[in-house]
Amino acid sequence: MAKADASHGPNTRLGHGGNDPMEYYGFVNPPVVRASTVLFPDARTLIAEDQKYNYGTHGTPTTDALCEAISGLEGAAGTVLVPSGLAAISVPMLTFLSAGDHVLITDSVYGPTRRFANEVLPRMGVSVEYFDPLLAADIARHLRPETRVVFLETPGSNTFDMQDIPAIAAVCRPKGIVTVVDNTWATPLYYRPLEQGVDIVIHAATKYLGGHSDVLMGTVSTNAQLWPKLYRGHMVLGMCVGSDDAYLILRGLRGLGRRLAVHQESTLAVARWLEGRDEVKRVYYPALESDPGHAIWKRDFSGAASLFSFSLRDGVDAHRLLDALSVFGLGYSYGGYESLAAKVNLADRTLKRADAEDALIRLHIGLEDVEDLIADLERALISAGGGGS
Ligand SMILES: *Cc1c(COP(=O)(O)O)cnc(C)c1O
């Protein structure tokens, strides 16, 4: 049975990537191989560690199936699995940064990335600098001879600013600076940074790839040049995952394309509806024509995810709004089948933008019927003090 490859559409690849059923008696799904110890047939093989698997921390057929599926989707030479999305951020930083190096990080980065960079990297002798996500090729002005890594996230967390990734990669690559993109929002279905000159792409597989709010995992993928160093860095840190969890992500991955299509359609409907409400000041979602990042999103992405935010006009109470929601749950994650709302704060940003707002309401639009979601939001906006439109 031939595996799906780049000549196939995304949903065919999601359905047939990773394991080969004919390797396991035809069973469609791979076995969950729970493993620490692996036995060797004789002394020579034992001493040389000359077989495909030799210890549980180095992978199993289940984790390999997931790695292969992700590498196929991203166009990567290799992928490592780590226990959380946050570990997918710390592992490449710990692998590619050394004492004396300088790292540039986009200012709209996921909050815990900033916490890791601020609390761990300076202790290792790495200097950390944040840059304006809208800089594009002007990032050159911030590069130093000791700049080793540029960490990107597009769209940025909570404000959803679009970064000009090809322009940034074109500046960094000739200088040998390692570029990393946190691609959790778009998934490899809607954006493939490696095709635009980026070196490393990471995911919180916890979100869309898993898709069911029941598992934590991160993935780190890279090109052929950096793969040996990433593989080694991952192995020495001991950041492995259990096969049961890898199985859950692989299972979530099969329906990812179909789930994302519904997420996208419903999210556009909700975002457009919110734009027309009196209680709402501004909607931050790059798939909207009104969004300042729309042109870059349209140029580089083939779709939009279900996480976006909006600000409220004066007199509309954010806490009353959240408390009045009944279909939306209150929580900080996203990517699952269920809708979520949260209040997010921009106070930890290093650079203050002229248009910056203090707090935003962030929504994840799930797979429920969109009419129910809009009705829930309408009730909540009215009770929050808007009075309707
Ligand atoms: C959630 C998230 C992470 C971290 O994932 P966890 O599995 O929760 O640690 C990293 N980056 C982005 C953009 C995220 O949204």
User: Is there an atom of ligand 1 within 6 Å of 116 CB?
Assistant: no
What class does CATH assign to 10-254? alpha beta
Q: 81, 84, 153, 184: which to mutate for ligand 1, most atoms within 8 A of CB?
A: 184
**Residue range 182-219, pLDDT digits in tens:** 999 999 999 999 999 999 999 999 999 999 999 999 99
How much is the pTM?
0.96
For a pocket test of ligand 1, which of 202, 207, 333 has the largest count of ligand atoms closer than 8 A to its C-beta? 207
Quick check: 374 and 273 in contact, CB under 8 A? Answer: yes
| Chain segment 319-344, per-residue pLDDT in tens | 999 999 999 999 999 999 999 999 99
Please give the angle made by the CA atoms of 94, 239 and 185, to the nearest 5 degrees.
Answer: 75
Position 367 pLDDT exceeds 60? yes
pLDDT of 7 reads 87
- Tell me, using a 6 A CB cutoff, whether residue 243 lines ligand 1: no
Q: Is 184 in the pocket of ligand 1 (CB under 6 A)?
A: yes
With H, G, I as helix, E, B as strand and everything else as coil, classify residue 222. Answer: strand
Q: Where in the chain is the domain with CATH 3.90.1150.10?
A: 256-383
Are residues 121 and 100 in contact, defined by beta-carbon separation less than 8 angstroms? no
41-70 residue pLDDT tens = 999 999 999 999 999 999 999 999 999 999
Q: What residue's CA is closest to ligand 1, atom 6?
A: 85
- How confident is residue 352, by pLDDT bands cut at 50, 70 and 90? confident
Radius of gyration of the chain (CA): 22
Hey, how many other C-beta atoms are within 10 angstroms of the C-beta on 141?
A: 9
Q: Are 229 and 245 in contact (CB under 8 A)?
A: no
Q: 213 CB less than 6 Å from ligand 1?
A: no
Express as a percent the part of the chain with pLDDT over 70: 97
User: What is the average per-residue pLDDT within 150-158?
Assistant: 97
pLDDT beyond 80 at 2: no
Residues 6+ apart with CB under 8 A from 293: 155, 160, 161, 162, 286
Residue 223 pLDDT level (bands cut at 50, 70, 90): very high
Give the atom of ligand 1 at the shortest distance from the alpha carbon of 84. Answer: 7
Ligand 1 centroid vs 155 CA: distance in angstroms? 13
Q: What is the pLDDT of residue 187?
A: 98
Closest CA to 186 of 170, 207, 200: 207
Pocket lining: 182 vs ligand 1, CB cutoff 6 Å: yes
Beta bridge pairs of residue 344:
360
Question: Could you tell me the pLDDT band of residue 389, with boundaries at 50, 70 and 90?
Answer: very low
Q: Is 243 exposed, middle or buried (0-12, 13-18, 19+ CB in 10 A)?
A: buried
Q: Which of 301, 302, 310 is nearest to 272 (CA)?
A: 310
Structure confidence by residue, pLDDT tens digits, 14-30: 999 888 999 999 999 99
> Is residue 1's pLDDT more than 60?
no
Q: Is 85 in the pocket of ligand 1 (CB under 6 A)?
A: yes
Name the percent of the chain lying above pLDDT 90: 92
- 388: pLDDT confidence band, cut at 50, 70 and 90? very low
- Among 89, 161, 206, 208, say which to mutate for ligand 1: greatest number of ligand atoms within 8 Å of CB: 206
Q: Half-sphere exposure of residue 278, counting CA atoms within 13 Å on the CB side?
A: 8
On the question of pLDDT at 355 being above 80, the answer is: no
The residue behind tokens 């990471």 is: 202
Q: Which CATH architecture has domain 256-383?
A: Alpha-Beta Complex (3.90)
90 CA → ligand 1 middle, Å:
12
Cα–Cα distances (Å) from 194 to 37, 65, 94, in that order, read 35, 21, 20
List pLDDT tens digits, range 76-128. Answer: 999 999 999 999 999 999 999 999 999 999 999 999 999 999 999 999 999 99
**Location of each CATH 3.40.640.10 domain in the chain:** 10-254
Q: How far apart are CA 333 and CA 310, in angstroms?
A: 17
* pLDDT given for residue 168 in this prediction: 98
